[in-house]
Amino acid sequence: MALYAALSAQAADLAMRWRIQSRKTLFLDAPRSDDRSGPAPDINVAEDLTNALLAAFAVREDVSEAAAVATGVQFGVEAFSHGVSLHHTVKAVNALCAMVMEALERAATDSEASVGKASDGVWLAQQLHERAGLLSLAAIRGHTQAQGDALRDRFRHLRHDLRNPLGTIKSVLALMDDESVPAEARANANFRAMAKRNARSLEEMIADRLGDTAVPSAATVDRDVAVQEVAESVRRELGSEARRHGVTVVIEATEVRGRFDVSGLELLLQAVLEAALQESRAGERLELAFNETGEERVAIYVSHASRRPPIARRDVLDRLASLARKIGASASFADPIVISLPIHGRAREASIVTERAIPGEATGLSVAETSHNLRSSREDDHGQASVL
């Protein structure tokens, strides 16, 4: 098929472009929270993944889906090993699908690779959709399987580390209860001190390695991510929507970063910006600014340059408030909109570069009394989000 040949000739270029874009989508250049050294990782199956997607147009009976599934699984495994969340793993497959769709559209305009009837175009889109779905499912399988393997390995080491002090305590107790040992030896203060020391070690390991914050999540990016990078990722996703409404989205520079629910923030921020774009007029400007509070939380401000509330519809506000609660965030919808999200682990020193002062920038008190100010029902009294 001429169309498949035309796309196959672009496979290497598509893979390279996707690899470059995915470094931002997957936050591969952000430092790992475990402080691993060495060069930033790369996705090694980029070309295989691209060819597996293009194979949807091959129209050959000998094209096996098994190879595509194996490639998708391998991509999921690699993504997990690089600390990429499940959310962003699937998002990367969707981004590759969008690139192939654009290439398909360009190739279809070529007289030598013409699609022909409208039904042919529908069939091609359906083939691409089905293959992308297959790759997404395979990537999810690889990611979750790798996470399961990592959990088993983690618990195996944890069991070993817990057994050492426990074994010492049991030995000390057995010795102290052994009537064949002289009473003065059984009452030795060193035995009691040894038992206390190992009991304290057990308590510390349980608190440190079995606490809620130590539970790994497939939804969380295990990286020290800059909040500005997340906002820019969302702006790219909504680029066509912003151009359609004639609205400019300005993101102020910031050094605020940390470990947090990146995928949850992306979903919430995308929903907020999309709703604000729909209520904006052509020529207006939406502005995003950031701040780090003293409670290890990051605050994002969304405002109109014209100083009018970005979102006015009550049903939209209710829907966004519900979404904020689901990701453990608090939100105030006024001028500006304030989204507050907990940081897991202390963020680095913040250095805000602002173009203008934001009302309530220091504490958010100017908007805290609005009727839509929310504290998540899943947060405790200290503002920490509970495990979903």
Tell me the per-residue pLDDT of 159-217, one tens digit each, with 9 for 90 and over. Answer: 999 998 999 888 888 888 888 888 888 888 888 888 899 999 998 888 888 876 666 66
My answer on whether 168 and 285 are in the same domain is: no
Do 231 and 254 meet the contact criterion of CB atoms below 8 Å apart? no
Picking from 29-38, 106-115, 196-205, 244-253, which range would have the lowest pLDDT averaged per residue? Answer: 29-38
pLDDT number for residue 60: 55
Q: How far is CA 258 from CA 43, 52, 287, 375, in A?
A: 23, 35, 22, 21
State the Cα–Cα distance between residues 234 and 203, nearest whole angstrom: 42
The answer to the question of residue 349 being in a domain is: no
Closest CA to 330 of 303, 293, 355, 278: 293
Whole-structure pTM value: 0.63
Residue 384 lies in a domain: no
Residue 375 lies in a domain: no
pLDDT at 57 over 80: no
66 plus 111 within the same structural domain: yes
* C-beta contacts of 152-161 below 8 A and 24+ residues apart: 158/205, 158/209, 158/210, 161/205, 161/209
pLDDT at 324: 87
Same domain, 8 and 147: yes
pLDDT band at 372 (very low <50, low <70, confident <90, very high): very low
User: CATH number for the domain including 80?
Assistant: 1.10.490
DSSP string, 103-158: HHHHHHTSGGG---SHHHHHHHHHHHHHHHHHHHHHHHHHHHHHHHHHHHHHHHHH
- Residue 354 pLDDT > 50, yes or no? no
pLDDT at 242: 92
Q: Domain total for the chain?
A: 3
Q: What is the pLDDT of residue 312?
A: 87
Domain that holds residue 316: 225-342
pLDDT number for residue 243 = 93
Residue 347 domain-assigned?
no
Q: Which residue has the higher pLDDT, 182 or 28?
A: 182
Cα separation, 381 vs 288, in Å, equals 28
Same-domain check for residues 279 and 205: no
- For residue 363, what pLDDT is reported? 29
Average pLDDT, the chain: 77
Residues 127 and 176 placed together within one structural domain of the fold: no
Instruction: State whether 115 and 252 are in the same domain.
Output: no
Q: What is the mean pLDDT of residues 72-88?
A: 87
